[in-house]
Amino acid sequence: MHVGATDPASTVRFEVVLKVPGRAELDRFLAGLTDPASPDYRRYLRPDEFGARFGLSDAQIARVEAWLRGSGIDVVGRDRERTHLKVRGTVARVNSLLGVQLQDHLDATYGAYHAPDRAPRIPSAMRDAVEGVAGLDTTPQMRPMFRPPLADVPIGGLKPNDVALAYDIAPLRAAGLDGTGQTVAIVSFDTFLESDVAAFDVQAGITGPPVEKVFVPDDYVPVRGEGTGEVNLDIDVIRSVAPGADILDYEAPNGQGFAPVMSAILEDARVDIVSISWGRCEADKDPVGRSFDDLQFDLAFSRGISIFVASGDLGAYGCNGQLFEGDLRITPDYPSASPSLISVGGTFLWVREDGSYFAEAAWEGAFSAVGTGGGRSANYPRPAWQTGLGVDISPGAPRQVPDVAGPADPESGFMTVYTGIGEGAPSLKVQGGTSASAPFWAGSMLLVRQLAEQQGVGPLGALGPLLYQLAALPPTSPPIFHDIVLGGNLVDAAGPGYDLATGLGTPDVTALANAIVGALAAAP
């Protein structure tokens, strides 16, 4: 709902996105990182190398800063990689600088936000150095990918021991690997109660380190909303898989976008595994915002950071609502479609009486618009490393998602414990969605990282390309990936090899861990 013009005396913060003059060279470098024949193969960058190699010069950035300060805008920060400036100013000065009028709005779920009434205008003299602005429009845009508990789901859900049996994590646990000493970042647009995490640990029978909250920006004060179940699901799934791991929950306003959160993660430099369970329709992402987000994801890739992202819960209809009555464009989710991320689809799991793996199908609802996200991107070409049986490698083929899959259907969902909005105490719930699949993979890779460190190999690096290389190896017993051939994404059916519902499949975690560590040990 439109409220009116934003108070001209109030202060707003946003980012000035800088040009990357070395973009073509950066693209070649990113391709070389994944090519064993390239001199850049697995030569990941340090934080200070990126800006010097690909970014603007000091003189160019100084000119942008002078333009901003001359217009009464404060420059409060600059990232080491030279991709953006953090700025703030009064609404009156921002309106004058960018030729807009900021307007206040009110959302029934997410509360107040502001947005410009037209596209910001960058002066021609600055266009050689400035790509645009981001964060000036704080419209809530990210949706969580979790499926809330269903009435007919048996109480219980997948507990830590269930997950260990079904996906062959138990041998790693028996070897003393539980994620201790490893750290993962979660990207969140809501928050959680520490008491809910403690309640989960009691119910799950585990003892893990406290979850650390990191606010973006530093003075952000989150308020629990409808996405709190999402945050708890991410945390609980990772603790189910790697109970000893340290978890950093980066919390930001919903309208902020991914770039500021990723920039904070990169600036902190404490993790090389990230889990994202939020997204939006790829087709509706604004070009400047997507460019800014993509640049931060590329930065992470250049540093060897693996980002596991939910592929979405609306099947191939990434812009649709919960029923077949909305936007029926066939499109994947964003940022799932980004080649710098590892897109994780979802499955329905069956286990044997002893709890061991039996079979899976791609998750899709027969009478609803929910199911594993997947499809062909309209914005990104197929990366050279995305090959194999089932992958479309024809000339001009697009990026295809998901890359892999994990348990997602709420009927075989994960046990979570949290206090829902309006509830007075934490309670046991069963939840699914690709919001469970992504942290499942992130948690599993924490165990792999621990094994690699134990054996003196690594770093893991950006794992997406390596997963395709391993999938192309001769079959092993047990298999590295469970090839899912049942179900679909409401449009595309699962099938042998790669498919647009489950990607390469779900992992036998111990087999995959040994394969990854073996590949790293043999890498030049």
> Do 121 and 236 reside in the same domain of the chain?
no
> Do 101 and 233 reside in the same domain of the chain?
no
Mean predicted confidence (pLDDT) in 172-201: 97
Lowest-pLDDT range of 325-339, 416-430, 492-506: 325-339
> Do 128 and 151 reside in the same domain of the chain?
no
Q: Parallel, antiparallel, or unpaired: how do β-strands 273-276 and 183-188 relate?
A: parallel
pLDDT in tens, 113-126: 899 999 999 999 99
> Residue 66 corresponds to which tokens in the numbers above?
């002078």
Percent of residues, the chain, with pLDDT higher than 90: 80
Q: What is the pLDDT of residue 401?
A: 98
pLDDT in tens, 270-306: 999 999 999 988 887 778 888 999 999 999 999 999 9
Q: What is the pLDDT of residue 151?
A: 38
End position of a domain, from candidates 81, 111, 134: 134
Q: What is the pLDDT of residue 145?
A: 52
Domain with 368 in it: what CATH number?
A: 3.40.50.200
pLDDT in tens, 365-387: 866 678 999 999 999 999 999 99
Q: How far is CA 416 from the centre of its chain?
A: 20
Looking at the domain assignment, is residue 516 inside a domain?
yes
Looking at the domain assignment, is residue 48 inside a domain?
no
Q: How far is CA 73 from the centre of its chain?
A: 32
Helix (H) / strand (E) element for 51: namely: helix 47-54
> Do 149 and 266 reside in the same domain of the chain?
yes
> Do 496 and 355 reside in the same domain of the chain?
yes
Looking at the domain assignment, is residue 45 inside a domain?
no
SS3 letters across 442-485 = HHHHHHHHHHHHHCCCCCCCCCHHHHHHHHCCCCCCCCCEECCC
> Do 115 and 260 reside in the same domain of the chain?
no
Q: What is the pLDDT of residue 185?
A: 99
Is the whole-model pTM more than 0.85?
Answer: yes
What residue type is assigned to position 507 of the chain?
P
> Do 75 and 223 reside in the same domain of the chain?
no
Which residues have CB under 8 Å from 481's CB, separation 6+?
404, 471, 504, 505, 506, 507, 508, 512
Triad 368, 372, 373: Cα angle to 5°: 105
Select from 348, 338, 352 the least CA-distant residue to 383.
338
Looking at the domain assignment, is residue 333 inside a domain?
yes
End position of a domain, from candidates 93, 116, 134: 134
Q: How many domains does the chain have?
A: 2
| Mean model confidence pLDDT for the chain | 92
With cut-offs at 50, 70 and 90, classify the pLDDT of residue 411. Answer: confident
Please tell me the distance from the alpha carbon of residue 245 to that of residue 183, in angstroms, as a whole number: 6
> Do 274 and 291 reside in the same domain of the chain?
yes
What residue type is assigned to position 142 of the chain?
M
Looking at the domain assignment, is residue 27 inside a domain?
no
> Do 96 and 236 reside in the same domain of the chain?
no
Looking at the domain assignment, is residue 377 inside a domain?
yes
Q: Hey, which residues does 90 pair with through a beta bridge?
A: 11
End position of a domain, from candidates 78, 106, 134: 134
Q: Parallel, antiparallel, or unpaired: how do β-strands 183-188 and 246-251 relate?
A: parallel
pLDDT in tens, 491-524: 999 999 999 999 999 999 999 999 999 999 998 7
> Do 153 and 126 reside in the same domain of the chain?
no
Mean predicted confidence (pLDDT) in 28-45: 94
pLDDT tops 50 at residue 322:
no
Mean predicted confidence (pLDDT) in 397-402: 98
pLDDT in tens, 354-368: 889 999 999 998 666
Looking at the domain assignment, is residue 38 inside a domain?
no
> Do 378 and 235 reside in the same domain of the chain?
yes
Which residues have CB under 8 Å from 493's CB, separation 6+?
362, 487, 499, 501
Looking at the domain assignment, is residue 42 inside a domain?
no
> Do 397 and 489 reside in the same domain of the chain?
yes
Triad 511, 512, 513: Cα angle to 5°: 90
Query: What is the extent of the structural domain holding 243?
Result: 143-522
- Give the number of C-alpha atoms closer than 13 A to the C-alpha of residue 38, restricted to the C-beta side: 13
